[in-house]
Amino acid sequence: MSGSLPSNTNSNTNLDPNLTSNPGSTFGSNDGLNNGPNDGSAELLYSTRLSGGKHWSMRLRRGLSLQLRDVKGGANVGMVFYNTADLRERYNAPDTLKCQHTFYLTRGHCLYSDMGRIFASVLDDTLGAHETMCGNSSREQVDRQYGARSYQQDRNAWHQNGHDAFMVELSKYELGRRDLPANVNWFSKCAVREDGGIDFVDGYATAGSEVSLRIEMDCLVVLHTCPHPMASAKHYPHTDVGITLCHAPPMATDDVCLNLCDENRRGFENNRLYHLGSSL
Amino acid sequence: MARQSIDAGDYYLARLEAGDTLRIVDLEGNQAADTLFYAADDPTEHYSACNTLREQRNLYLSVGSELRSNENRCMLEIVADTCGRHDTLGGACSSESNTVRYDLDKRSMHACRDSWMLAIAEHPDFGIRKRDISHNINFFMNVPVTESGELTFEDGISAPGKYVELTASMDVIVLISNCPQLNNPCNGYNPTPIELLTWNQ
């Protein structure tokens, strides 16, 4: 490898001092919320909860930490990333997997864009394996499996599907079906047999399961809480997902994501190059 | 029947009508043909690796595999395959991912996505843009997942003369990069030509 030493990366992947100098100012600190779930020292900037079958998108700044929590067990969170400065740069599952020689995502892994950069890294994970190859539920599949329930019938408890949920959010940025890459499905695991057969692992995510991401470059995060397309549940899972934002702790030289493999050192070096000249 | 040889490092861009068959031949063995498909009438509908492998409940492509679009429609079906297994997990090489996978100094080495970029730049009439360059098939490539969940790039299981045949279920655009990669065993460190044959049933 060349030119990608931890000492270089350490000094260039830190927090915005302007943000840390005035903690809590963005979202207010008087909402009665406690500290972030994985780090008692991280001040909670924002907290919300989505029930199953919902969708959301938000721009997240580099240096933030995003925590997802499966409140009741059995949740699924579909997620994709785009570069806010150029939406044509987006999460790339094949590059993410082959750069780190893995089929699953867990602690230490980085989520790569199609331009060789790192959108986010997985700082913590209580589960150990999340899949990023099986895509989304569709309206046809959800209707077939759980029964067709329209908004007119059920209002907030209707049976939304992952594909439509992504299309709704993507359209807000004038993105469409052509722009949707293979997504992450947090909290969902698909086992692979020797012959390549894929089996959804039922009951994998238990209540309280958590994943913590560190945002490595400014990005648009698009997510939904619709069921995994291979889930075998008979009833539509309206499971709650907790979402919190904190400042990520500064990256240390022994950082688990940086040091997972030489590939990640080079990925962080690409991020350093991308941010050259910026104030962060 | 049309017959065309494509050197490693070059691309193939063509339209197939519904019912047409495409045969891709690995002339010298251990080559990788990085392939994308688009609906000819509206290329915002493209091949979806996720929908394809989820619907068939298997990671590997072979005879009987229906290649599905992002609308979960069958675009083509694999009707013959003397190789036995093809990859759709690993995606294509790019100069950007080469910096991560191999060395920061590999940026200037030729890569599949660069071939695709040239293809869409030279053929704007096909209506394919950078944002449409998505998750492809690697014909003749062997990317098994181990029991512990590792993704491995193995020596190809292909050999000289092995081929795969696909019949189009709808009018499609085919975009192939004949992989120029020199840094991994996907093509035995020795990129070689492929041959493409197309015919009507």
Q: Cβ contacts (< 8 Å) between A95 and chain B: which residues?
A: 91, 94, 97, 100
A234 CB contacts (<8 Å, ≥6 apart)? A145, A146
State residue A278's pLDDT score.
85
- Of B178, B170, B169, give the one whose Cα is nearest residue B24: B178
Q: Is the pLDDT of residue A74 over 60?
A: yes
Beta bridge partners of B163: B25
Six token digits for residue B107:
């940026």
Our CA dihedral for B88, B90, B93, B98, rounded to 10 degrees, sits at: 180
Contact at 8 Å (CB) between B156 and B140?
A: yes
Higher-confidence residue: A279 or B38? Answer: B38
**Which residue, chain included where needed, has tokens 């969708």?**
A55
Mean pLDDT of B21-27: 98
More confident residue, B190 or A206: A206
Q: Which residues of A touch B85 (CB under 8 A)?
A: 196
pTM: 0.91
Contact A97 B100 (CB under 8 A): no
Q: Say whether A198 and B54 touch across the interface (CB within 8 A).
A: yes
The pLDDT of B45-57, averaged and rounded, is: 98
Q: Which helix (H) or strand (E) holds A50?
A: strand A44-50
Mean pLDDT of A180-190: 98
Confirm if B10 and B4 have CB atoms less than 8 A apart. no
- Determine whether the interchain pair B132/A178 forms a contact, defined as Cβ–Cβ distance below 8 Å: yes
Chain A interface mutation, best of B98, B100, B142, highest count of A Cβ atoms under 10 Å: B100
Nearest to B141 by CA among B100, B184, B110: B184
Q: Quick check: B171 pLDDT over 60?
A: yes
Q: What is the pLDDT of residue B154?
A: 78
What confidence tens digit (pLDDT) does each residue in B53-111 have? 999 999 999 999 999 999 999 999 999 999 999 999 999 999 999 999 999 999 999 99
Give the lowest-confidence range in A94-98, B43-47, B154-158, B175-179. B154-158
Residue type, A81: F
Q: How far is CA B36 from the centre of its chain?
A: 6
Assess whether pLDDT exceeds 60 at residue A68: yes
Ranges of each domain in chain A: 6-275
Residue % of chain A over a pLDDT of 70: 85
Contact A113, A90 (CB under 8 A): yes
Q: At A240, phi and psi to the nearest 5?
A: -80, 145
**Nearest-CA neighbor of A119 among A84, A77, A91?**
A91
Minimal C-alpha gap between B29 and chain A (Å): 23
Among A76-85, A271-280, B171-180, where is mean pLDDT lowest? A271-280
**What pLDDT is recorded for position A163?**
98
| pLDDT recorded at residue B145 | 94
Collapsing DSSP to helix, strand or coil, A59 comes out as strand
Could you say which DSSP state residue A131 is in? B
Q: How far is Cα B182 from Cα B96, in angstroms, rounded to an integer?
A: 15
Q: What is the 3-state secondary structure (H, E, C) of B13-75?
A: EEEECCCCEEEEEECCCCCCEEEEEEECCCCCCEECHHHHHHHHCECCECCCCEEEECCCCEE
Residue A9: its pLDDT value, please? 36
The per-residue pLDDT of chain A, averaged, comes to 88
Enumerate the residues of chain A whose CB falls inside 8 A of the CB of residue B34. none
Sheet containing A209-215: order of strands = A44-50, A241-247, A64-70, A209-215, A118-125, A110-112
Residue A18 reports pLDDT greater than 60: no
CB distance A114–B151 less than 8 Å? no
Print the domain residue range for B166: 2-199
CA-to-CA distance for B36 and B49, rounded, in angstroms? 10
Please list, in sequence order, all residues whose beta carbon lies within 8 angstroms of the beta carbon of residue A277, skipping any fewer than 6 positions away. none
Mean predicted confidence (pLDDT) in A88-112: 98
Interchain contact, B150 vs A101, CB within 8 Å: yes
Residues in chain A: 280
State yes or no: pLDDT of A101 exceeds 80: yes
pLDDT band for position A41 (cuts 50, 70, 90): low
Whole-complex ipTM: 0.97
Q: Which structure tokens are listed for B117?
A: 């970029």
First to last CA, chain B: 10
Please give the span between the terminal C-alpha atoms of chain A, in angstroms, as a whole number.
26
- Residue A90 has a pLDDT of 98
pLDDT in tens, A249-263: 999 999 999 999 999
Domain count, chain B: 1
For residue B131, the 8-state DSSP code is G
**CA A151 to each of CA A78, A86, A155, A158: distance values in angstroms, whole numbers, following the listed order:** 21, 34, 4, 5
The token duo for A154 is 């059920």
